[in-house]
Structure 1
Amino acid sequence: MKKIILPLLVTSALSACGENTPLQTVDWYKTHETDRKAMIAKCEANPGELSASANCINAKTAENHLSVDKRSYPDLTPINPLQGGE
């Protein structure tokens, strides 16, 4: 049991040291355009290591939200067919 747990602890501790950038939220990236664009550029430059990181996902999600907001889609109310489609 100890032979399995020790390597897991060591690898998780070392992997946590990989990224020095503080974690930012989607809303933060929406309001900080230069940081958002810089993070997206950094993620696209190294997709193998960074594409699954939380900051890359949050920056790209913020960019997508802002793009959709520019399109000004109407706010649609879902229809529930079980209630007669009110």
Structure 2
Amino acid sequence: MASAVAAALSVQTAPSFAHNYTGAAIAAGILGLAVGAAVADNARPRDPVVYGAPPAAYYGPPPPFSPAPGVSCYPTRRQCYMSNGLLDWSWTDRVFAQ
């Protein structure tokens, strides 16, 4: 019991920081640097953000399609072919004529 009383009396209290402003000055300096960096970053001109579909070249060439059975049209060539491999002028004119 005597040792517990001696231990309780020997406990030192934390030093008072009422007159020590060093920590507050450091914290204020760090906060000031953070605010200054944010203001400087916000003042920098930025590239405009463009929303929308990417350019057509992004997707690559359009795939071939078939407007009718036995006919294949190739948009890159702007021509349509029959199943025997010959050029089909009538479908080429219908699909790609302007």
Using the size of structure 1 for normalisation, the TM-score is 0.30
Q: Which has the higher strand share?
A: 2
Q: Which has the higher contact order (CA 8 A, sep 6+)?
A: 1
Whichever of the two has the greater Rg, that structure is: 2
